[in-house]
DNA sequence: TCTTACTTACGTACATCGTACGTAGTACGC
DNA sequence: GCGTACTACGTACGATGTACGTAAGTAAGA
């Protein structure tokens, strides 16, 4: 599984230029930021991430291109590829930078529910400043330095919980998923514009068709496009989820 | 529902060449599939969606380009734009096609938990056949014909529940979010390849650093990259969420 | 110290993407 | 039949990710 595709690389030819192009790792955290050879790099991962984040904040995620970020750094486009070999990894840098914005307490207070609630409420604040984050956190775990510290803190909050380690990881994933989903919902609700208008008139048409009684009732009993008046919905749901997650394992009520 | 969108078309300007370039709606479901004028369209939304879905299933979402889909239909690239003015709307078609794969029961059995469990387990089956779906369901509600039927059925399952309509919609969103997240996690777990390998060696390095004791313990107490041996995790979590969602509103245990 | 090997920096170039635009042909409403 | 709105599609433009080659700079081994 390790070396099946470079079998016939330099075998027949003894020339000098690099015996094995050593398969750059897919994960950017696996390559050292600095090797100590060659000229001193002009940029750091932090500055690159900051530049990219600034662009995404100001003009949206689609405005983040390699050219654009390189230009923002005052570098040639292709120079950026020395630091970030793939655009996906630029996204990794951006996510880790955002996770790092939360100044974590030194250690949890000990009250699990309160600690978790505070943690995720802060995270929601961060996501509100960086509305592009949810689109990026699909299946890719954010495990850069800041992501690791964040994960470690989350697990420290659950240190006393009577749960297997895997359940704690699942809890993290579940709560983060909810967080991003809620943030993204806020985004679309606040987007306004033509899409919003179209959606409303479409739903009106749907309601008037009379073919969807349950949907109709659900819509009229609670405003649809209406953004949440406060964080009440978030808080309430968050607490429900925390409770669900902390419950060791419900006895299976299978029929 | 029949004629409400052509109100102010020719009112202010009597010139010939289309007085108002009538602002094509952002939502594809808002434009009729067939207007009755001009030549008969050679393709249908269903066939277009099917072609796109086939490509995505076979070669991944990134292989779905307008050119590719048009070619699969035997049409010129730009002809596709008569049916789908924006690529985003092609994605809408694809999602609705996938939602339509589940042959919904005529009406729920009446046992809320069982009905919901069955519904989402089927949905998981669909997502396993179309691994690209979670990436597409970020913030865009899927409200095509099939999406509407699906939503209506979900709400019918909750018809007897003592919840406000908004809470039911939130429940739908929450459960769907979990579903997609779980499916996406399965995808990355099953992806294999170099990324997986890199991730493992990275985590090994992290563990060996000794700086993340809680993370270390969580990792060793439950395999990380290990795909779930069965659907047990999904089922258990799904039930927890269903219970949480059906609970009218926990009394606020605010300190 | 010199050499060598590897780094950084960046310009050029290519394939591919979404899609704006224009033109030609077709079929329904008047 | 006439006009208008539709379908069909070729061409073309700007932008993207990034492979590749070259020049220059610096640390490690002789």
Secondary structure (3-state) at B149:
helix
Among A109, A104, A107, A165, CA closest to B216: A165
Taking C1' of C7 and every protein CA, the nearest residue is: A38
**What per-residue string of b and e applies to B101-118 under the rule 16 or more CB within 10 Å gives b?**
ebebeeebeeebbebbbe
**What per-residue string of b and e applies to B155-178 under the rule 16 or more CB within 10 Å gives b?**
bbbbeeeebebbbbbbbbbbbbbb
User: Is pLDDT above 50 for A12?
Assistant: no
- Average the pLDDT over A217-230 and give the result: 67
Secondary structure (3-state) at A36:
coil
- Asked if residues A148 and B212 have their Cβ atoms less than 8 Å apart, the reply is yes
User: Is pLDDT above 60 for B203?
Assistant: yes
d(CA A31, CA A60): 28
- Average the pLDDT over B174-186 and give the result: 95
CB spacing of B166 vs A114 below 8 angstroms: no
* B87 in contact with chain A, both atoms CB, cutoff 8 A: no
pLDDT category at B122 given cuts 50, 70, 90 is very high
> Does pTM surpass 0.85?
yes
Residue A66 CA to nucleotide D16 C1', Å?
Answer: 9
Residue B120 CA to nucleotide C27 C1', Å?
Answer: 46
**Statement: the CB of B72 is under 7 Å from strand C:** no
User: Is pLDDT above 50 for B253?
Assistant: no
pLDDT digits (tens, 9 = 90+) for B211-236: 999 999 999 876 545 555 668 889 99
* A25 in contact with chain B, both atoms CB, cutoff 8 A: yes
Ordered structural domains, chain A, with CATH? 41-99 (1.10.10.60), 112-246 (1.10.357.10)
d(CA B168, CA B174): 10
B167 vs A129, A179, B211, CA distance in Å? 26, 17, 42
d(CA B47, CA B39): 18
pLDDT at position B92? 97
pLDDT at position B105? 85
**Statement: the CB of A188 is under 7 Å from strand C:** no
* Option in A29, A198, A222 nearest B30 (CB): A198
**Count of H-run helices and E-run strands, chain A:** 11, 0
User: Is pLDDT above 70 for B251?
Assistant: no
> Which range among A175-179, A210-214, B70-74, B224-228 shows the weakest confidence by mean pLDDT?
B224-228
| Residue in B closest to A191 by C-alpha | B139
> Which range among A15-29, A55-69, B46-60 shows the weakest confidence by mean pLDDT?
A15-29
Measured from the Cβ of residue A74, the count of other Cβ atoms closer than 10 Å reads: 10
Write down the mean pLDDT value for chain A. Answer: 86
- Asked if residues A146 and A97 have their Cβ atoms less than 8 Å apart, the reply is yes
Measured from the Cβ of residue A78, the count of other Cβ atoms closer than 10 Å reads: 10
B104 vs A210, B37, B126, B153, CA distance in Å? 19, 35, 13, 8
Among A92, A183, A184, A102, CA closest to A142: A92
pLDDT at position B194? 86
d(CA A113, CA A243): 8
B113 vs A contacts (CB less than 8 Å): 253
Residue ranges of alpha helices (H) inside chain B are: 45-59, 66-73, 80-83, 87-99, 112-129, 133-136, 145-157, 165-191, 193-209, 213-220, 232-246
Q: Roughly how many angstroms between the first and final C-alpha of chain A, as a whole number?
A: 46
User: Is pLDDT above 60 for A104?
Assistant: yes
User: Is pLDDT above 60 for B124?
Assistant: yes
User: Is pLDDT above 80 for A179?
Assistant: yes
* B152 in contact with chain A, both atoms CB, cutoff 8 A: yes
- Average the pLDDT over A132-154 and give the result: 93
- CA-based nearest distance A102→chain B, Å: 18
For residues A100 and A34, which has the higher predicted lDDT (pLDDT)?
A100
User: Is pLDDT above 90 for A17?
Assistant: no
d(CA A211, CA A49): 50
* Option in A219, A245, A255 nearest B165 (CB): A219
pLDDT digits (tens, 9 = 90+) for B138-153: 878 889 999 999 999 9
- Average the pLDDT over B9-17 and give the result: 33
pLDDT at position B230? 67
d(CA A76, CA A78): 6
Residue A159 CA to nucleotide D14 C1', Å?
Answer: 54
Cα–chain center distance at A200: 29
pLDDT digits (tens, 9 = 90+) for B25-58: 889 999 998 888 888 899 999 999 999 999 999 9
* A106 in contact with chain B, both atoms CB, cutoff 8 A: no
Among B46, B63, B39, CA closest to B71: B63
d(CA A111, CA A149): 19
pLDDT category at B11 given cuts 50, 70, 90 is very low
User: Is pLDDT above 60 for A254?
Assistant: no
pLDDT at position B5? 34
Among A231, A225, A229, CA closest to A193: A225
For residues A195 and B116, which has the higher predicted lDDT (pLDDT)?
B116
Taking C1' of D8 and every protein CA, the nearest residue is: B79
DSSP state of A48: H
pLDDT category at A1 given cuts 50, 70, 90 is very low
pLDDT digits (tens, 9 = 90+) for B65-113: 999 999 999 999 999 999 999 999 999 999 999 999 988 888 889 899 9
**Statement: the CB of B109 is under 7 Å from strand C:** no
């Amino acid at each position: 599984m390790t070396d099946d595709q470079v079998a016939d690389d330099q075998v027949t030819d003894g020339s000098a230029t690099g015996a094995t192009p050593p398969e750059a790792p897919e994960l950017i955290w696996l390559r050292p930021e600095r090797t100590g050879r060659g000229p001193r790099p002009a940029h750091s991962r932090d500055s690159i991430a900051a530049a990219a984040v600034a662009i995404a904040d100001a003009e949206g995620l689609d405005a983040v291109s390699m050219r654009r970020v390189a230009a923002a750094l005052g570098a040639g486009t292709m120079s950026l590829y020395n630091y970030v070999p793939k655009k996906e990894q630029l996204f990794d840098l951006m996510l880790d930078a955002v996770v790092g914005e939360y100044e974590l307490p030194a250690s949890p207070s000990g009250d699990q529910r309160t600690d978790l609630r505070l943690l995720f409420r802060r995270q929601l604040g961060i996501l509100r400043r960086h509305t592009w984050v949810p689109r990026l956190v699909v299946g890719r775990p954010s495990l850069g330095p800041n992501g690791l510290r964040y994960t470690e803190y989350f697990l420290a909050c659950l240190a006393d919980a009577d749960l297997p380690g895997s359940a704690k990881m699942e809890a993290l994933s579940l709560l983060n998923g909810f967080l991003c989903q809620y943030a993204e919902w806020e985004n679309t609700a606040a987007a306004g514009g033509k899409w919003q208008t179209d959606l409303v008139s479409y739903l009106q048409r749907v309601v008037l068709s009379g073919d969807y009684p349950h949907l109709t009732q659900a819509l009229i009993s609670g405003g649809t496009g209406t953004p949440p008046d406060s964080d009440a919905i978030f808080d309430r749901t968050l607490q429900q989820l925390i409770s669900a997650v902390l419950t060791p394992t419900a006895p299976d009520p299978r029929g």
